[in-house]
Amino acid sequence: MKPPVARKIPTVLSHHGDTRIDNYYWLNQRENPEVINYIKKENSYCNFVLKSTKKLQEKLFLEMKGRMKEEESTAPYFKNGYWYYERYEKKKEHPIYCRKKETVKSKEEIILDCNKLAKGFPYYELVGFAISIDNKWLAFAEDITGRRLYQIRFKNLETGQITKDLILNTGSELAWHNDNKSLYFVEKDEKPCVHSLSKSTFLDPKRMKLFLRKKMIRL
């Protein structure tokens, strides 16, 4: 089997007074059928070349997996009246984020179960979260594509309800204002590069009705 060869399509790129030619710039077109077909050919060639190592791959995977505890928990840390930690359960892939009020002996409160959040997505990662100063609201950023373009959602920690509000194409850094209804975050473009610092203020914080959105700083 011969390795696939990508077409050369010269693209002139100029930045900061420097010009260069990229013959493979066109491969960044994620929805281009020719790009998708080329990647499939690369994957097929990879599987062909590594075919003789398949049993070794499985052996190494099972050995590494066997060295990992399926049930484990991080050391708790204290913040604003609560002890926070994350833990893993047997035969579950994603972490469960929890907290306990005042002491580590208090009743556990699960704030986010990523195993439930991941259902229905081929890829899922919780990349960051922030809790309002009054401990009533949780904002969390998640990646459902693997492209580092995140989306922000909100959870009412008193009712356990995740609202329908959604902020797309963001970074993972989140910070609540001390009014408990405004959230600061960064926005990204499709590349994905950070381009602005923004703030969203909920017009009805009791119901968390979305919301006034404002760009604070253009980066």
Q: Are 70 and 87 in contact (CB under 8 A)?
A: no
Closest Cα partner for 186 from 65, 9, 177, 195? 195
Give CA–CA dist 24/95, Å, rounded.
38
Other beta carbons within 10 Å of 198: 17
**How open is the CA angle 180-182-186, to the nearest 5 degrees?**
135
Helix (H) or strand (E) holding 173: strand 167-176
Predicted pLDDT at 202: 72
- pLDDT tens, N- to C-terminus, the chain (219 residues): 999 999 999 999 998 899 999 999 999 998 999 999 999 999 999 999 999 999 999 999 999 988 888 888 999 999 999 999 999 998 899 999 999 999 999 999 999 999 999 999 999 999 999 999 999 999 999 999 988 889 999 999 999 999 888 888 898 999 999 989 889 988 877 766 656 777 777 755 555 455 555 655 554
Query: What are the CA-CA distances from residue 150 to residues 127, 187, 191, 217 (Å)?
Result: 8, 9, 12, 19
Predicted pLDDT at 193: 66
Side chain identity, residue 103: T
Predicted pLDDT at 197: 76
Other beta carbons within 10 Å of 27: 16
Q: Are 20 and 4 in contact (CB under 8 A)?
A: no
